[in-house]
Chains A and B, each alone.
Chain A
Amino acid sequence: MEKKQKILFYGYGNIGRQDDGVGVVFSEQLSKWVEDNNLQNIDFDSNYQLNIEDAENIKNYDIVFFVDASTKESVNNFDISSIEPNSDVSFTMHAVSPGFILNICSEIGEHQPKSFLVQIKGYEWEFQQPLTAKTENNLQKTLIFFKKYLKKLLIEKKIEEIDLKSLLKIKND
């Protein structure tokens, strides 16, 4: 069996539809920073949307961050929440949820990575590029947070202790 990697960041959305693609841009930019800083055991992936085969991909990780754009009023800049497996079977494969992917992974992969949903606030969804200025600002705030968090994690070597509480504590500091 393939050796498990530690952390996966999975950004998804349509980069051709303005802020919808912020998760993908996040993944690209954090990936470059991780490479420049030679950090190990952190992988990146991205796609238009979540697909059923992602259940097979995430089984190789201990921790997965799904990164998506959000229209929710309650999201201020960006938000992080835990994901639990769910049976929310969507009526279309255009809108598969991270909890659904986690459920499939649990069923067929017999492994359930600790998973979080990172939602970055978006505003416009037309057939255009690039991100709006407001979402770009939210993206940078999210990147600053994760750079700070990953450095701290890797220095302290406490990856196993990642949980929502520790993530939110740093976010709110």
Chain B
Amino acid sequence: MGKKITIEPVTRVEGHGKVTIHLDNDNNFERSRLHIVEFRGFEKFIQGRPYWEAPVTVQRLCGICPVSHHLAAAKAMDVIVGAGTGDGLTPTGEKMRRLMHYGQVFQSHVLHFFHLASPDLLFGIDGDPAIRNVIGIAKMHKDLAVQAVMMRKYGQEIIKVTAGKKIHGTGAIPGGINKHLSLKEKMSLLDGKDPMNADKMIEWSLGGLEFFKNFHKANKDLIDNFAAFPSKHLSLVRKDGALDLYHGVIRAIDADGKKILNDVDSQDYLEHIAEEVKSWSYMKFPYLRKYGPKDGWYRVGPLSRMNTAEFIPSPLAQKEFEIFKAYTNGKPNHSSMHYHWARLIEILHCAEMMKDLLNDPDLMEGELVTKGTKSYEGVGLLEAPRGTLFHHYRINKDDQITMANLIVSTTNNNMPMNLAVESATKQFISGQDKITEGMLNAVEVSIRAYDPCLSCATHAIGKLPLQVKLYDSKNNLIDKRTKD
């Protein structure tokens, strides 16, 4: 008797999706899909609004990564006000924005690794679901939980002093930034009371990496082979090939590491990237035009950034980058679970960059805004925690937005997440007579590695219980399980 299994929603990811798995009469894999069941409407909503509102308004998309949208919209508006594309800002404008961005990536990555992903590592993919969560971490690994909470708090404080406030920050404005960093703000974060200081954040970031590397040593098969598959990778890189989370040119490589999108200007993204719509998901499927929808899909995010970048411009993270690259002999790394490793290297990079910037006098003085000749179209790209984020706007002569196109980081990973689900299903479920909670969690782990923000990708809110449903080949419901 054939079976259809539904996992809805996928847990410990940001937002709501469901997975359906079809098995044949012998319980072997037939097909699987990650469905995104929320509807997007934000691109329509923002039409008619004045362009200068966009950096603040777009933050309404998501309570998890508002800063990424704030900065991507601001970068697009820089182009519209004639301030250039990323490197046209004043030193103060660019560095304050960078500090804000590093704070955001730092706290987002910390939340994902320590609170969402680490329970699977510490308690096992098939561990007791009653403790395989952040409460379990707090109970049984208290030091780790405390560190993670304080690292989150530090990142949030960085955001607060650069964006102006925690909610609907106003720091980034078209052409620059609206404030300097005060001496008090600088000292509270650079040399604050233990543990709220830059050196402690670096120390703990190194500790997080050691934790992962030790786990990796003891669990090589899981970390290296779980949901691993070859793919193209895409990200921004600095013009000299360095990892750059705030600004750069678009680079894509194929599965062997050959450059296939060779450092393209962000303003020209539409010449190279298109999106396909499928009837079973509200989330689009981006692809590289020259390879078409079937073969043009690619991965984004921390793993891809490690694959496309040639070096990391901060010393401790560079040392870790070299270890990471050596592990695959310099070839692209395609292991989904190595997203976690890459994420931890980026946490360290952000910690180093935050310290450097807090020591930079440009943040405390200097011109805030650049002005230039206005244009009617602008594109803003940055490397958000989950991957490359595209904001594209057109305005009319009355300064109203007439078109908005957003390709959110998670959307770029749509096809890879579907393939990760397929891979995990084949590995854990296919051919099994009995489907356990641990097997279903394995499917979720494969998605969770990508840290998807599904609300963000579809721009909606909502809440659902988790339901797992088994159907026979005639679509009769034969079993059901619900997670509250």
Contacts and interface: CB of A to CB of B under 8 A. Distances in A.
Nearest to B66: A48
13 contacts: A16-B59, A16-B168, A48-B166, A49-B63, A55-B149, A57-B153, A87-B130, A91-B10, A92-B12, A100-B135, A104-B135, A125-B461, A127-B60
A92 B167 contact: no
A53 interface: yes
A15 B167 contact: yes
A46 interface: yes
Interface stretch (B13-21, B177-185, B243-251, B336-344): B13-21
Given A53-B156, A56-B149, A127-B42, A93 B116 contact: yes
A94 B64 contact: yes
Interface string A89-110: 1011111000010011001100
Contacts of A94: 14-15, 63-64, 455, 461
A92 B14 contact: yes
B109 interface: no
A48 B167 contact: yes
Nearest to B145: A108
Contacts of A51: 111, 152, 156
Contact of A104 (B11, B66, B134, B466): B134
Contacts of B280: none
A14 interface: yes
B57 A16 contact: yes
- Give the residue among B12, B42, B142, B149 with the most A Cβ atoms within 10 A: B149
Contacts of B42: 127
A107 B66 CA distance: 29
Contact of A53 (B138, B139, B152, B167): B152
Contact of B463 (A24, A93, A95): A95
A91 B14 CA distance: 8
B167 A89 contact: no
A52 interface: yes
Given A24-B167, A93-B115, A127-B42, A108 B152 contact: no
A47 interface: yes
Interface in B142-160: 142, 145-146, 148-150, 152-153, 156
Nearest to B484: A88
Contacts of A108: 138, 142, 145-146, 149
A95 B9 CA distance: 13
B14 A93 contact: yes
A140 B157 CA distance: 31
Interface of B: 9-16, 41-42, 45, 57, 59-60, 63-64, 66, 111, 115-116, 130, 133-135, 138-139, 142, 145-146, 148-150, 152-153, 156, 166-168, 455, 461, 463, 466, 483-484
B63 A52 contact: no
A3 to B, nearest CB: 14
Interface in A47-68: 47-49, 51-53, 55-57
Given A46-B166, A46-B167, A53-B156, A17 B60 contact: yes
Contacts of B139: 107
Contacts of A15: 167-168
Given A108-B146, A125-B461, 7 more contacts: A53-B152, A53-B153, A53-B156, A89-B134, A92-B9, A108-B138, A108-B142
Interface of A: 14-17, 24, 46-49, 51-53, 55-57, 87-89, 91-95, 100, 103-104, 107-108, 125, 127
B63 A48 contact: yes
A127 B459 CA distance: 11
Nearest to B112: A93
A92 B16 contact: yes
Given A52-B111, A91-B10, A94-B14, A107 B167 contact: no
B63 A14 contact: yes
Contacts of B60: 14, 16-17, 127
Nearest to B15: A92
A91 B170 CA distance: 30
B453 to A, nearest CB: 9
A128 to B, nearest CB: 9
B133 A89 contact: yes
Nearest to B132: A89
A107 B45 contact: no
Contacts of A17: 60, 461
B45 A91 contact: no
Contacts of A103: 135, 138
A147 to B, nearest CB: 24
Nearest to B464: A91
A92 B142 CA distance: 21
A46 B63 CA distance: 12
3 closest cross-chain pairs (CB), A and B: A16-B60, A48-B63, A91-B11
B149 A52 contact: yes
A89 B135 CA distance: 8
A48 B456 CA distance: 14
A126 to B, nearest CB: 8
A61 to B, nearest CB: 16
Contacts of B14: 92-94
Nearest to B142: A108
Contacts of A24: 167
A68 to B, nearest CB: 13
B363 to A, nearest CB: 24
Nearest to A21: B167
Contacts of A127: 41-42, 45, 60
